[in-house]
Structure formats: structure tokens, C-alpha cells
Amino acid sequence: MTLIDELGAWLADPTHWTGPDGMVTRLLEHVALSGACLGLAIAIALPIGLWIGHTGRGAAGVIRAANIGQALPTLGVIGIVLPLTANIEPYGFDLIPSIVALVALAIPPIVTNTYAGLRQVDPEAVEAGRGMGMRELQLLRLVEVPLALPSVLAGLRISAVQVVATATLAAVLGAGGLGRLIIDGIAQQDDAQLFMGAVLVAILAIATELAFAGLQRIAISPGLRGRVQAARGSAADV
């Protein structure tokens, strides 16, 4: 029996689509976990990136810490957190370590890209805003953030795709998601289930990438988008 035949038979079984272990349930679990982790990472990392990008204070230490955090393997973070939370009921063994690891994975790109975007804002535009009597928060909100938006959204896109792809590891701890299809497929020697789990994760990661690319096109003004593309073209020529 070929893999295609196994896939056809597996997909034809309605229990593989619905129910607590069905693809729809696992997909919703995966999206919910990824969305929650990305939201927490944004709430933590974006203010930090905006602060150090605007003021420059503590930037070296924060960026260094972010780079170290980005180098940490997600399984390593889970291994560190799990012994500390295993006795916390009811989610200390599965959900909490998964969330901590995924949030830690998502924070560095947001911090570094936000910082880089704000530091690349034309100083003359900033000084012009100050000359108009803008306060620091007004300057950040009305001048720096709009000009740094391409870099900020790029950081969000990188983090989102990484979280969606890596959230499969949560299934190792029993936290659910599409990774459960992969784990169960390996345990049961069910190639069709294993294949479908991997394909669904890949499709969701690609869909996330495309969604954030579309968000960038909508959120960034045409004039600024043209400047970004021109800058990329100049960099490519070099």
C-alpha cells in the first residue's frame, strides 16, 4: 500500500477530521497556542524595542541579551523551565513550559527589528518633529514608529512564523496542536498521519508568512513602501 493510498484512506475517515483528536481540533489548538505566545511576546518585546530605539539607553545590553536568547534552543528552554513548573497544577507540565519557550523564541526578533527600525529613522525628521513642539511620546508615535514600521512588521513576521513552526514541540509535553499528529504518527507508525501533520504545519507557517506580508502592504504607506524597495534595490546593486 503506497503512501498516497494510505493518505486517501486516512483522509476518508471522518474521525480524523473531527473530535478531540481530529485535524480541525489540533489546528485550532495550534493557532490558539501560537497566537497567545505571539501576543505575549509582542506585549513584552515591543515596548522594550521602542524604548531602547527611541532613547538609546541600555540598547547594547538589551540587544546582547536578545541575541543570546535567540541562540537558545527551544527544547533547551523547555528543559530549563519544566522542572520549575512541573508541580504547578494544572498546566505546569505541558502548557506553561511550552508558552515560556515559545515566547522566549519570539521576543528577540521583535526587539532587534524594532530597535533597528527606530535607529534608522532620519534624524532630520526627528529634529523637525521636536522643532514643531512635539513631546517625546508624540514624536515616537507620529514620526518614528510610522517611519520604522517596515522593520517592526518584519520582526513580527519573523517571530510569528518561528512560533507557528516551533509550536509543534508543545505536543511532546502533551500541550496539543498539530505536533500531536506528528507524535502520534511516529508512535503508531502511521505514515499518513505523520505526513498530514507535517504538511499542515508547513501550510500554516506559509499562510502566516503571507498574512503578515499582506499586513505590511496594507499598513505601510505607498510612499514609504517605495522608499523601502528603492533602498533594497540599492543594497542589491552593491
Q: Is residue 2 part of a domain?
A: no
Find the helix packing angle between 95-119 and 59-71, rounded to 10°: 140
Q: Is residue 18 part of a domain?
A: no
Is the pLDDT reported for residue 232 higher than 70? Answer: no
How many helices and strands in the chain, by DSSP H and E?
11, 0
Q: Is residue 112 part of a domain?
A: yes
Would you say 181 and 26 are in contact if contact means Cβ atoms under 8 Å apart? yes
Instruction: Quick: pLDDT tens for 75-95.
Output: 899 999 999 999 998 888 899
* Domain enclosing residue 166, as ranges: 27-237
CATH code (residue 217): 1.10.3720.10
Q: Is residue 1 part of a domain?
A: no
Would you say 186 and 226 are in contact if contact means Cβ atoms under 8 Å apart? no
Confidence of residue 230 (pLDDT cuts 50, 70, 90): very low
Q: Is residue 40 part of a domain?
A: yes
Q: How many domains does the chain have?
A: 1
Instruction: Quick: pLDDT tens for 3-44.
Output: 889 999 999 999 899 888 899 999 999 999 999 999 999 999
Enter the DSSP assignment of 190: -
